[in-house]
Chains A and B, each alone.
Chain A
Amino acid sequence: MSSSNPITEVSPADAPERGAAGAAFGWALLASELVVLFRRRRTIAMLLALALIPILIAVAVRLSSNEVSAGQGPPFLDRITQNGLFVGITALVVAIPLFLPLTIGVAAGDTIAGEAGLGTLRYLLVAPAGRVRLLLVKFAGAAAFCLVATLTVVITGAIIGAILFPIGPVTLLSGDTISVADSVGRSLLIALYVTVSLLGLSAIGLFISTLTTVPVGAMAATIVVAVTAQILDALPQLAWLHPWLFSHYWLGFADILRQPILWDSFSDNALLQGGYILVFGALAYGRFATKDILS
Chain B
Amino acid sequence: MSRVWLRWMPAVVVPAVIAVAVVAVPLQAGAVVDLPDKTAAEVLALVSDSTVSSFSGTIEQTSNLGLPDLGSALSGMSTGSSDSGTDAAASAATTALELLTGSHTARVFADGPGNLRVQVIDRLDERNLIVNGDEVWFYDSDSNEATHLSIPAGTEADARAQLEEAKTKAAAELGEMPTPAELADTLLADLDSSTEVTVGTDTAIAGRDAYELRLTPRTDETLVASASIFVDSETGMPLSVNVRAQGQQDPAFQVAFTEVSFTAPDAALFTFTPPAGATVTEQALPDHDGTSDHDFGEKPAGDLPVTVTGEGWAAVAELPAGTVDAEVTASPLFTQVTTAITGGYLFSTSLLNVLVTDDGRVLAGSVPVESLQAAAAE
Contacts and interface: CB of A to CB of B under 8 A. Distances in A.
Contacts of A17: none
Contact of B276 (A78, A171, A251): A171
Interface string B83-105: 00000000000000000000000
Nearest to B275: A171
Interface string A167-183: 01101011111000000
B142 A70 contact: yes
A278 interface: yes
Given A11-B6, A70-B145, A262-B121, A175 B276 contact: no
B3 A174 contact: no
B184 to A, nearest CB: 25
A119 interface: no
B7 A177 contact: no
B7 A286 contact: yes
A2 B18 contact: no
Nearest to B117: A174
Given A7-B3, A171-B276, A285 B126 contact: no
Contact of B277 (A7, A171, A176): A171
A254 B107 CA distance: 15
Interface in B254-295: 266, 269, 272-279
A177 B271 CA distance: 11
Contacts of A93: 124
A87 to B, nearest CB: 15
Contact of A174 (B123, B126, B276, B279): B126
A289 interface: yes
A65 to B, nearest CB: 18
A210 B49 CA distance: 64
Contact of B269 (A2, A11, A260): A260
A283 B141 contact: no
Interface size class of B (residues with CB under 8 A): 35 or more
B2 A8 contact: yes
Contacts of A11: 6-7
B377 interface: no
B144 A78 contact: yes
A282 B124 CA distance: 34
B143 A285 contact: no
Contacts of B13: 282
Interface of B: 2-4, 6-11, 13-15, 18, 58, 69, 79, 107, 119, 121, 123-126, 128, 130, 137, 139, 141-146, 266, 269, 272-279
19 contacts: A2-B2, A2-B3, A8-B2, A11-B7, A75-B124, A171-B278, A173-B141, A174-B128, A174-B139, A236-B69, A251-B123, A258-B126, A260-B266, A262-B107, A278-B18, A282-B14, A285-B7, A286-B8, A290-B8
Interface of A: 1-2, 5, 7-8, 11, 70-71, 75-76, 78-79, 82, 93, 168-169, 171, 173-177, 236, 251, 254-255, 258-260, 262, 264, 275, 278-279, 281-283, 285-286, 289-290
Given A78-B144, A82-B276, 9 more contacts: A1-B2, A171-B278, A174-B128, A174-B141, A175-B275, A259-B269, A260-B266, A281-B14, A282-B15
